[in-house]
Amino acid sequence: MLAGTGSDVGKSVLATALCRIFLQDGYHPAPFKAQNMALNSYATPEGLEIGRAQAEQAAACGLQPHTDMNPLLLKPNSDHTSQVVLNGKPIGNKSAYEYWRNDPALRAEVVAAYSRLAAKYNPIVMEGAGSISELNLRDHDLVNLPMARYADAAVILVADIDRGGVFASCYGSIKLQTPEDQKRIKGIIINKFRGDLRLFDEGRKMLEEICGVPVLGVVPYFKDIYIDEEDSVALEKKTLPSITGQVGGVSIAVVLLRHISNFTDFNILERDPRVNLFYTNNVNDLSRADIIILPGTKATLDDLMELRRNGCAQAIQRAHRDGKMIIGICGGYQMLGQTVSDPEGIEGAISSLPGLGLLPIHTTMTAEKTTRQVNFQFNGHECQGYEIHQGVSDTNEAILQTDHCIGTYIHGFLDNAPVIEQILKGKVENERVESENSRELSPAEFKEEQYDKLAAHVRQYVDIPRLYQLLKE
């Protein structure tokens, strides 16, 4: 188990690296996170929902994602509750207080999922959640040390040195555990180091002395390896530049919604050298963009109301009148329609709102959730994606296009080259030219390359032979 001194210390990425390393070394690994809280999710081949990070880790293991890898997913709503997704299907909403009162049935489901997975794969790369030293939640914890005890897992503590306080966070995280759980923590990985590693040689020795466990590695921060992020903490750290004064490239504005979900939809566009993609809810930046994208959201009506309040709705409508391309994905697609209604209060107290009126659809929120992988045709090309959404719109079209406006329920829509080429057509001076000796990688090939690069990076800085020895002991 990779456990953390806090949130966003890099557990998910390091777990992805270990999944690929174990696969490269001839093992048959699988990822497992008992409970995940995230708005970035993914649909399994069976049409069930799990956290995006575990889907990414499964791919690094060479596996299709399965709900046993993430049996419990919490998706925060707009009203201080979370939708609880158990074994891939939503079972209702709970407040934080209700959830942490602990339901024995949830614990039974979680350990059953782990047991099924462990019977098929070895090793299991487990991931904790947040900090392992939240003492007030320890008795109800499903995902950290209690899960490690059930699995008899060796725990590696991950700490983010970039945020500071690495000595205190490591020492405190270990010493606040029970004596039994302290013995289970077998090593430390220091993550996100910047600068000359030799400057931490003394610190490494000191950390081992005060914590009583070995430092297995100090992993430098990287920028040139692309792994899909788990949640909005990563989005908050992304630069949100104004496009004022920038020259060249197609400016694409992704509207920064309060409840944005599946922002991994834009990772490929972010890396396209022809594109300047940024996230914003600034109306001036929206007015200067060549293309505006309304992304997915966990709370369509709440975010639609906020768009009207902050002026973004009017800015999008003006941009459309001016001939700019507008794209809506999932909840963003629903907002581009004529109306969004919620007669049963699925999302909350708002019963109905007019949409932006750019597409001829009406949407009604329903209790039943659509989750499935899909294949679709776009300009004669076979493409892939997946759907995860509440609500039904009165159209049978997977993709609805009108004059310079596109709407779709399909996540991963923009991962397909034919789609990107269509939306950029006529907007770039120099179209991408492929040399005779080069071939652009497909999204699947690109991901495989990134997993291998990540594995090589972690192998260079983490003592993998020693890690194997700890696991054998």
Active site residues: 330, 411
Joined tokens for residue 204: 């490494």
Angstrom CA distances, 33 to 21, 51, 125, 403, stand at 18, 9, 9, 44
Q: Would you give the DSSP letter of residue 217?
A: E
C-alpha to C-alpha distance for 65 and 342, rounded to whole angstroms? 32
Residue 434 in tokens: 């492929």
Indicate the helix (H) or strand (E) that contains 150: helix 145-151
Listed in sequence order, the residues at least 6 apart from 67 whose beta carbon sits closer than 8 Å to its beta carbon are 44, 46, 48, 49, 50, 87, 88, 113
The string of DSSP codes covering 86-132 is ETTEEEEEEEHHHHHT--HHHHHHHHHHHHHHHTT-BSEEEB--S-T
Lateral strand order in the sheet of 250-255: 275-280, 250-255, 291-294, 325-329, 405-408, 399-402
73 backbone dihedrals φ, ψ, rounded to 5°: -125, 130
Q: Do 282 and 255 meet the contact criterion of CB atoms below 8 Å apart?
A: no
Tokens of 305: 């109301």
